[in-house]
Amino acid sequence: MVAATSFSVDDRESTPVSHTFTPNGFSADNSVAFFKNVGSVPIEDEKFSISWRESKASQNRKVRLKLEVPVVVTETINSVNVPKVARVAICDATFTFSLDSSEQERDNAVGMFANALAASQAVIDGTLVETNAIW
């Protein structure tokens, strides 16, 4: 098992900003670990979750990573400034591995997926970040 500990990830700002996620509990059945990067107000909190499950029937192990990044704006109502979530970016990836896969097979697949998300991958980055269609 892996301990739920804090971790940091950098964004892609021109001067990258590190976002530190700290453990924030588990689901009732302990199959999902929740993490939070605390903002200046609670609705600004960035959330990350990691879930895992194993199915003997399908002979697979599934791990799901989900990141939620809210964009908060200040709305003025009757001269009172109120923070409001304008939108939320959600990144969601599910990894499915056979129960008899080797650690090296899983490591290679995860490494390939992580490298596919690099800014230098023009097709993938252009579709995800620049929202361009593929032709």
CATH number of the domain residue 34 falls in: 3.30.380.10
Residues 55 and 70 in one domain: yes
Residues 95 and 111 in one domain: no
Name the CA radius of gyration of the chain, rounded: 18
Per-residue pLDDT reduced to its tens digit, 58-97: 899 999 999 999 999 999 989 999 999 999 999 999 999 9
Residues 61 and 106 in one domain: no
Confidence of residue 56 (pLDDT cuts 50, 70, 90): confident
CB 54 within 8 A of CB 61: yes
Task: Tell me, yes or no, whether 1 lies in a domain.
Answer: no
Asked whether the predicted pLDDT for residue 135 surpasses 90, the reply is no
Q: What's residue 5's pLDDT?
A: 94
Q: What's residue 1's pLDDT?
A: 74
How far is 121 from 98, CA to CA, in rounded Å?
28
Task: Tell me, yes or no, whether 50 lies in a domain.
Answer: yes
- Mean pLDDT, residues 107-112: 97
Residues 90 and 108 in one domain: no
**All residues at 6 or more sequence positions from 129 whose CB lies less than 8 Å from its CB, including other chains:** 119
How far is 73 from 82, CA to CA, in rounded Å?
8
Asked whether the predicted pLDDT for residue 31 surpasses 80, the reply is yes
| Angstrom distances, CA of residue 65 to CA of 34, 43, 57, 62 | 10, 21, 23, 10
Q: Which domain holds residue 131?
A: 102-135
How many domains is the chain partitioned into structurally? 2
Residues 60 and 121 in one domain: no
Residues 30 and 96 in one domain: yes
Kindly state the percentage of the chain with pLDDT values over 90. 89
CB 42 within 8 A of CB 31: no
Residues 45 and 94 in one domain: yes
Confidence of residue 108 (pLDDT cuts 50, 70, 90): very high
Say whether pTM exceeds 0.85: yes
Average pLDDT, the chain: 94
